[in-house]
C-alpha cells in the first residue's frame, strides 16, 4: 500500500522544500483511492489521467516559482453532487446515470484556480438524503475505523476518504448535518459555513434554503485553508453573501482566554444520547476551560422542535427541487412509455431510490392543498423561533458547544428499516441549518474505539471564531491525529 497522505500543512511544507511533488502526492492519493477507497466503497469515480496532468502542471508552476495558493498541487475529493465540466455527476442516483456536466460548479472552479487537484467524486446518500451513506446506488460506504459501521452521511465518502488518509481534504454538502455528522463518525474535522458563505452554483439542490457546501480536513488549520479557497461572493448564486472570503488562518493563534463557550442545557439532557459521548464532550469543554475559556449555561428552548421542523421544510423544498428530474433534458429516461405522463412517472419511479421517493412524497403532501398551513407554514414559523433562540444565546456567549451526534458510528443496516430513527441521528445538527449559522465538528476522543465529535456553533459569519477554538483545542490534544491503524 502507498504512503498515507499527509495533512494539507504537511503537504505544503513538503512541496515547498521539494521533498515531494504534486505528481507523487496525487499518484499516492489515486493508488489509495483504488485500493482502500474501493474496499470501503468511498468513491463513485476517479479521474486518474486528468488528475495526473493537473499534478504535472502544478509541479511546473512550482518549478517556475508561480505557486498559486497553499492548496496548489494538493489532491482533494469532491462529493458527487458538485459538477465539473466534462465529468459525470451522479448524486449516487440511477436517474443521473450517464450524465456528463456541461459546466463547472463555483467551488470546483475556485479549487482549480487555487491549484488543487481534484482526484474524484465521493460516495453519498442519494441526492444527499440520508445520515449514513447507505442510500447510494453503489451501496454503503464503510467506516475506516470499523468497516461494519457507517461513515455517517450524507457526505460519508468524503469523510471516509479524509479519515483513511486518501486525501488531505475534501468537500461535502450539509443540509441538516451532512458534513458535521460524518466528520464525527469518521474522526475528522467537518465545517459547515454560514448559509450563503459558499456559492451553491453547480451544487445539485436538495433543500435550497438549507444547503451549504462545507469542508473536511484533519485539522482546523487545514479546514481554514479550504474554506478560504472556496468562499466569498459569487454573482452566479443570488443567495451568496456579499462578504469576501474570511481570513481564518490569521485567527488561529491558540488563544481562547476570555472567550465564552455556551452549553445549551437542552443538548445535555441524558435522554436519547450515549452518556459516554456526553462525557467526551464535557472533557473537551474542560480542556478549553483550562486553556482560558469561560463556560456558561445557555438555553435553546425550541430544540425539541428542530427535527420535525427540518424534515417538513427540507422535504417540501426537495419535492420541488427534484421535479426537474423528468427524463427530458438529461439523465436516464424510461423506455417504451405510452405518453408524456407515463414517461415522467416511470422515469422517476425507476430512477429514484426509496428514501428519495419517501421525501418527495412527504414534501408533496405537506405542500398540498389543505395541509400547507398546518405543516409547512407551521414549520416556517417554528424556524423563526429556532433562529431567535440562537440570536438570544449568542448575546451571552461567543460559541456554543454540543455533541455533534448522539452516538458513535452505528452499524451499517441498523437503521435503514426505520426512517424515523435515522432522522433522529440529526438531532444536534439540523438547528444550525435552520438558523443559517456556521458549525464545525472536531474529533474529541473515542468510545469503544470509535471517534466522538465535538460540535461548535457560532453566530453568522463567525467561522474564524469556530476555527480559533477548534485549533486551540487541537494544539492541546491529539485526538485529531489518530488514524485507523490499518491506514496509518
- CA 251, 256, 257, 259 torsion-angle sign: positive
Residue positions annotated with a catalytic role: 79, 154, 178
- CA 136, 487, 169, 101 torsion-angle sign: negative
CB of 66 to other proteins, least distance (A): 28
Residues between 18 and 57 with contacts to other proteins, criterion CB under 8 A: none
Residues between 367 and 386 with contacts to other proteins, criterion CB under 8 A: 368, 371, 374-375, 377-385
CB of 343 to other proteins, least distance (A): 5
Interface residue with other proteins, options 93, 319, 404, 425 (CB under 8 A):
319
Residues between 278 and 307 with contacts to other proteins, criterion CB under 8 A: 302, 304-305, 307
Residues between 328 and 347 with contacts to other proteins, criterion CB under 8 A: 328-333, 337-346
Burial bucket for residue 215 (CB in 10 Å: 0-12, 13-18, 19+): buried
Residues between 230 and 249 with contacts to other proteins, criterion CB under 8 A: 235, 238-239, 241
CB of 208 to other proteins, least distance (A): 9
3-state secondary structure of 273: coil
| Structure-derived torsion over alpha carbons of residues 359, 362, 365, 366, reported in degrees to the nearest 10 | -110
| Cα separation of the two ends of the chain | 10
Given the rule CB under 8 A, which of 139-147, 157-165, 323-331, 451-459 is the region that contacts other proteins? 323-331
From residue 411 to residue 440, what is the string marking binding to other proteins with x (rule CB under 8 A)?
--------xx--x----------xxx----
Name which of 67 and 245 has its Cβ closer to other proteins.
245
Name which of 143 and 199 has its Cβ closer to other proteins.
199
Q: Which residues pair with 171 in a beta bridge?
A: 78, 215
Residue 202 near residue 107 (C-beta atoms within 8 A): yes
CB of 349 to other proteins, least distance (A): 5
Interface residue with other proteins, options 250, 361, 391, 395 (CB under 8 A):
361
3-state secondary structure of 259: coil
Residues between 163 and 192 with contacts to other proteins, criterion CB under 8 A: none
Residues between 87 and 106 with contacts to other proteins, criterion CB under 8 A: 98-100, 102-103
Name which of 49 and 339 has its Cβ closer to other proteins.
339
Distance CA 162, CA 213 (A): 16
3-state secondary structure of 143: strand
Burial bucket for residue 18 (CB in 10 Å: 0-12, 13-18, 19+): exposed
Q: Which residue has the cell 469518521?
A: 186
Residues between 99 and 158 with contacts to other proteins, criterion CB under 8 A: 99-100, 102-103
Burial bucket for residue 366 (CB in 10 Å: 0-12, 13-18, 19+): buried
- Does the protein bind other proteins through residue 309 (CB under 8 A)? yes
Given the rule CB under 8 A, which of 72-80, 309-317, 400-408, 472-480 is the region that contacts other proteins? 309-317
Distance CA 406, CA 400 (A): 16
CB of 366 to other proteins, least distance (A): 8
Amino acid at each position: 500500500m502507498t504512503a498515507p497522505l499527509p495533512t494539507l500543512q504537511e503537504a505544503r511544507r513538503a512541496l515547498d522544500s521539494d521533498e515531494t511533488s504534486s505528481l507523487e502526492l496525487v499518484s499516492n492519493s489515486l493508488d489509495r483511492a483504488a485500493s482502500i477507497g474501493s474496499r470501503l466503497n468511498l468513491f463513485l469515480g476517479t479521474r486518474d489521467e486528468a488528475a495526473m496532468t493537473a499534478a504535472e502542471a502544478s509541479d511546473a508552476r512550482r518549478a517556475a516559482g508561480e505557486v498559486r495558493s497553499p492548496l496548489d498541487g494538493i489532491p482533494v475529493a469532491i462529493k458527487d453532487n458538485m459538477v465539473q465540466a466534462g465529468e459525470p455527476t451522479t448524486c449516487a442516483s440511477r436517474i443521473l446515470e450517464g450524465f456528463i456536466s456541461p459546466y463547472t460548479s463555483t467551488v470546483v472552479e475556485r479549487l482549480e484556480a487555487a491549484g488543487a487537484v481534484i482526484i474524484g467524486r465521493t460516495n453519498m446518500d442519494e441526492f444527499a438524503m440520508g445520515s449514513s451513506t447507505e442510500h447510494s446506488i453503489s451501496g454503503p460506504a464503510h467506516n475506516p475505523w470499523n468497516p461494519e459501521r457507517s461513515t455517517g452521511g450524507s457526505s460519508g465518502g468524503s469523510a471516509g476518504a479524509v479519515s483513511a488518509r486518501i486525501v488531505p481534504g475534501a468537500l461535502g454538502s450539509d443540509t441538516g448535518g451532512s458534513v458535521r455528522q460524518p466528520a464525527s463518525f469518521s474522526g475528522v474535522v467537518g465545517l459547515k459555513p454560514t448559509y450563503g458563505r459558499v456559492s451553491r452554483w453547480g451544487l445539485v439542490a436538495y433543500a435550497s434554503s438549507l444547503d451549504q457546501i462545507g469542508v473536511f480536513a484533519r485539522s482546523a488549520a487545514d479546514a481554514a485553508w479550504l474554506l478560504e479557497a472556496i468562499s466569498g461572493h459569487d454573482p452566479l448564486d443570488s443567495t451568496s453573501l456579499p462578504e469576501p472570503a474570511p481570513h481564518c488562518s490569521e485567527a488561529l493563534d491558540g488563544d481562547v482566554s476570555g472567550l465564552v463557550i455556551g452549553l445549551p442545557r437542552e443538548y445535555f439532557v441524558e435522554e436519547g444520547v450515549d452518556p459516554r459521548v456526553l462525557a467526551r464532550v464535557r472533557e473537551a469543554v474542560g480542556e478549553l476551560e483550562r486553556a482560558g475559556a469561560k463556560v456558561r449555561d445557555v438555553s435553546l428552548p425550541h430544540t425539541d422542535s428542530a427535527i420535525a421542523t427540518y424534515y417538513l421544510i427540507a422535504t417540501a423544498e426537495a419535492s420541488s427541487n427534484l421535479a426537474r428530474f423528468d427524463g427530458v433534458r438529461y439523465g436516464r429516461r424510461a423506455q417504451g412509455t405510452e405518453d408524456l405522463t407515463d414517461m415522467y412517472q416511470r422515469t422517476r419511479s425507476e430512477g429514484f431510490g426509496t428514501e428519495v421517493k419517501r421525501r418527495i412524497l412527504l414534501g408533496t403532501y405537506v405542500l398540498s392543498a389543505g395541509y400547507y398551513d398546518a405543516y409547512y407554514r407551521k414549520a416556517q414559523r417554528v424556524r423563526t423561533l429556532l433562529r431567535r433562540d440562537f440570536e438570544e444565546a449568542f448575546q451571552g456567549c461567543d460559541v456554543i458547544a454540543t455533541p455533534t451526534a448522539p452516538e458513535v458510528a452505528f452499524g451499517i443496516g441498523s437503521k435503514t428499516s426505520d426512517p424515523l430513527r435515522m432522522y433522529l441521528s440529526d438531532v444536534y445538527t439540523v438547528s444550525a441549518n435552520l438558523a443559517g449559522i456556521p458549525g464545525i465538528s472536531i474529533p474529541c476522543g473515542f468510545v469503544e474505539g470509535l471517534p466522538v465529535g465535538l460540535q461548535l456553533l457560532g453566530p453568522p459569519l463567525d467561522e474564524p471564531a469556530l476555527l480559533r477554538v477548534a485549533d486551540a483545542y487541537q494544539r492541546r490534544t491529539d485526538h485529531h491525529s489518530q488514524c485507523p491503524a490499518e491506514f496509518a
